[in-house]
Amino acid sequence: MTATPNTGCAGEKNMLDGKRLVLVSNREPYVRKQGPDKGHFERTTGGLVTALDPVMRRCGGVWLAWDPGGDPALPHRFEVPESGPTFTLRQVPLSRGEVRRYYYGFANRALWPLCHYFIDRCHFDDEQWNDYVAVNRRFADATAQEAAREDLIWVHDYHFCLLPRMLRERRPRGTIAYFLHIPFPAEEVFKILPWRREILEGILGADLVGVHVPSYVTDFLGCCERLLGAKVDHGAKVVHWDGRQVAVQAFPIGIEVEEIEGIASAPETASRARRIRKNLKESKVVLGVDRLDYSKGIPERLLAVERLLEEAPELRGGLTFVQVAVPSRTRVQEYRHLKRVIDELVGRINGRFGDSSWQPIRYLYRSLGRQDLIAHYLAADVAMITPLRDGMNLVAKEYCAARVDEDGALLLSEFTGAAEGLASGAMLVNPFSVEGTANKLREALELSPNERSSRMKLMRAHVRDTHINVWLQDILLAASKIPGADCIG
Ligand code: GDG
């Protein structure tokens, strides 16, 4: 059953029935500013925070997150956001060594590449695993301190696969939900992980396991059945484990559509979009926006743009590819290497085709302000969102929400969760094929205004139907139906 979009706070609060939401994620929603303004908080960037901050602002409760390099002697509970506090941020201090081994190590050099099918990038290291266990345990203790018996505990993402089980040991009758923001891979890939059993058992401490799309549900159930020997009801999508029933469901995450539409409709955003186009000499604009991550397929995308410029010389001088790459995980070797690869490719392509008045690639290695980002969405003729693998991809949805003018084409990788819902309007591509992507890009650039508009209308309708409120309410509804739930409903 799907909730009605935009019922907002009232619907969610009813489902929580006065109980609190205790949310756990690695990334903090607000971070203390550096420099003279130190002591104040600003919101962080990234898919998870973009999705969950509005939820917590509406529902209230406690959000536990890491404090990397944090001093355990300093205060770790704050009311946020500063402009009008609605929830508590509880920071869990981690030492630099723990951050190195748990976060940059096991989470981002074992689980992240594994779940995104980059087997050759996986590093399995016992020390990193040990710190992953220790940090999950620290969070289990902190969460148990914060959560009353009847609260709904909601654990997020691959950093905390062990946490549901650890919390179950501390709260045998508590209600625990878990949501994985990245893909759950096929069994043949997942079984490579030396700690596959511990990870599955950890997640199965939850009552409700949420993933983005049905294929991840199928893969997770298959792993529980064949790698753990658990009894699985594939029809009901339930794992029988440890005397409990664990429901596994797809909840495709969405965005706060009105926030984006509001910014996109503001006259200043439209005039910023016009300035962007003017600065690009009114050429056709193709846009990529990603964290700088190998899963996002940025080099492959650059190669496709290069191929198109080779094959369609008439586009030279009249097409600009703008790539916004937000710095990410810069302490991980693979990410530093990727940055060098991209720098070199951009240089090579600009050197090869550019001249004193035109550069085919504009590469912005930084995070843009929210309004500037949305102005870029509005300025683009084509958004080129071609990850090699992506759990969902919120940028694709934000691009459609921003197109209040119902214009703009979307070139979307078939290996994103977003492709399942946006397929009717997007042009789907296999990003591993340079030639195929170049051809599709050309087709996208040549779509008639009518075709662009009818495709965009379909995609905007889907984005509205899968609003972040729908995601939240569907999860709360599913949590309220957990047999024997002490909380909600
Ligand atoms: C993970 C999963 C899943 C990006 N550049 C700027 C900026 N952003 C914001 C976007 C968007 C978010 O970052 C990126 O979200 P994605 O979903 O595209 O990707 P991940 O960060 O990898 O997120 C992903 C997501 O979790 C949610 O479950 O969809 O599959 O990998 O919101 O707007 N924001 C600003 N400036 C930028 O330059 N202000």
CB 256 within 8 A of CB 468: yes
Output the residue whose Cα is nearest ligand 1's atom 27.
47
Cα–Cα distance between 181 and 253 in angstroms, integer? 9
Summarize pLDDT for 326-369 with one digit per residue, the tens: 999 998 888 999 999 999 999 999 999 999 999 999 999 999 99
Residue 7 has pLDDT above 60, yes or no: no
Residue 487 has pLDDT above 70, yes or no: no
**What is the amino acid identity at position 413?**
S
Cα–Cα distance between 378 and 370 in angstroms, integer? 13
Interval 12-23 mean pLDDT: 75
Cα–Cα distance between 108 and 478 in angstroms, integer? 30
- Atom index in ligand 1 nearest the CA of residue 370 equals 39
Summarize pLDDT for 217-237 with one digit per residue, the tens: 999 999 999 999 999 999 999
- Confidence at residue 488, expressed as pLDDT on a 0 to 100 scale: 39
Q: How far is the CA of 384 from the centre of ligand 1 (A)?
A: 15
Q: What DSSP element (H or E) covers 333?
A: helix 333-353
pLDDT band at residue 489 using 50, 70 and 90 as cut-offs: very low
pLDDT band at residue 2 using 50, 70 and 90 as cut-offs: very low
Half-sphere exposure of 132 (CA within 13 A, CB side): 24
pLDDT band at residue 13 using 50, 70 and 90 as cut-offs: low
Cα–Cα distance between 267 and 316 in angstroms, integer? 32
Is residue 181 part of the annotated active site? The answer reads yes
Least confident range from 12-16, 203-207, 332-336: namely 12-16
- Atom index in ligand 1 nearest the CA of residue 394 equals 17
- Could you tell me which of 246, 227, 228 has the C-alpha nearest to residue 237? 246
Least confident range from 15-24, 136-145, 304-313: namely 15-24
Q: How far is the CA of 124 from the centre of ligand 1 (A)?
A: 27
Query: Percent of the chain, pLDDT > 70?
Result: 93
- Confidence at residue 383, expressed as pLDDT on a 0 to 100 scale: 98
Q: What is the DSSP letter of 255?
A: -
Residue 170 has pLDDT above 80, yes or no: yes
Pocket of ligand 1 (CB under 6 A): 45-48, 50-51, 181-182, 253, 289, 291, 324, 326, 367-368, 370, 373, 390-395, 398
Q: Please, which residues have CB within 8 angstroms of residue 340's CB and are 6 or more apart in sequence?
A: none
- Confidence at residue 286, expressed as pLDDT on a 0 to 100 scale: 98
Summarize pLDDT for 65-86 with one digit per residue, the tens: 999 887 888 888 999 988 889 9
Residue 413 has pLDDT above 50, yes or no: yes
Least confident range from 33-42, 359-368, 405-414, 424-433: namely 33-42
Is residue 159 part of the annotated active site? The answer reads no
- Confidence at residue 12, expressed as pLDDT on a 0 to 100 scale: 64
pLDDT band at residue 58 using 50, 70 and 90 as cut-offs: confident
Q: Pairing relation of β-strands 21-24 and 62-68?
A: parallel
Summarize pLDDT for 240-273 with one digit per residue, the tens: 999 999 999 999 999 999 999 999 999 999 999 9
Catalytic residue among 53, 67, 157, 390: 390
CB 269 within 8 A of CB 375: yes
In this structure, the chain runs to a length of: 489
- Atom index in ligand 1 nearest the CA of residue 183 equals 30
- In terms of Cβ atoms closer than 10 Å to its own Cβ (0-12, 13-18, 19+), residue 268 is exposed
pLDDT band at residue 99 using 50, 70 and 90 as cut-offs: very high
Cα 62–chain centre separation: 21
Catalytic residue among 116, 156, 159, 181: 181
Residue 6 has pLDDT above 50, yes or no: no
pLDDT band at residue 141 using 50, 70 and 90 as cut-offs: very high
Half-sphere exposure of 205 (CA within 13 A, CB side): 24
Backbone angles phi, psi at 43, to 5 degrees: -75, 145
DSSP string, 150-177: TSEEEEESGGGTTHHHHHHHH-TT-EEE
Q: What is the DSSP letter of 295?
A: G
Q: How far is the CA of 394 from the centre of ligand 1 (A)?
A: 6
Q: Which domains does the chain possess?
A: 12-254+469-480 (3.40.50.2000), 257-465 (3.40.50.2000)
Summarize pLDDT for 84-96 with one digit per residue, the tens: 899 999 999 999 9
- Confidence at residue 332, expressed as pLDDT on a 0 to 100 scale: 87
Output the residue whose Cα is nearest ligand 1's atom 33.
395
Q: Higher confidence at residue 124 or residue 44? A: 124
- For the whole model, what pTM was predicted? 0.94
Cα–Cα distance between 27 and 434 in angstroms, integer? 34
- Confidence at residue 15, expressed as pLDDT on a 0 to 100 scale: 65
Output the residue whose Cα is nearest ligand 1's atom 4.
290
- Confidence at residue 214, expressed as pLDDT on a 0 to 100 scale: 98
Least confident range from 67-71, 380-384, 394-398, 474-478: namely 67-71
Q: If you average pLDDT over every residue of the chain, what do you get?
A: 93
